[in-house]
Amino acid sequence: MKHSHKWIKSLMDNLDEHVDEKTKLKVLENCGRACISRSFLKKVQECKKSAKDTSEFLDNLQRMWNHLQRDDDDIYVVYKKCYCPLVKGCSEPLSSTFCNCSVGWIKELFESALEKQVDVELEKSIVRGDDICRFKVRL
């Protein structure tokens, strides 16, 4: 196991053991917010500026970013593999708490474009053993 993987596993194990649930989620969420690329956020914001309403923004975003899925009024972000470069190739099981980093990443994406708070719920996680990662987004 790579040194960085050992470090992240140790960090997550210690967070799970010593930190309350609400604080853990907030810490990981804020890490995800800091992780999102400013150039990608700019592209997402441009999708919003060129749209006449939220529905058109989502259409534009879906064309630009193939991880966005819509099912009637439900909005999902779906990944068929874990894209996190910090844990890519990690052979040891990792706490699913780690995936709350992606919750923050997705919140930052939508909130920066829509200029309002959104709710993101982790429904499935590859780290937890699911076949995909799926996040439900409530605008």
CB 133 within 8 A of CB 79: yes
pTM of model > 0.85: yes
In sequence order, the β-bridge partners of residue 68 are: 77
* Strand arrangement, sheet containing 119-124: 68-71, 74-79, 133-138, 119-124
What type of residue is 96? S
| Domains in the chain, CATH or no CATH each | 3-138 (3.30.1380.20)
pLDDT at 42 > cutoff 90: yes
- Write the pLDDT tens digit of every residue in 81-128: 988 888 877 877 888 899 999 999 999 999 999 999 999 999 999 888
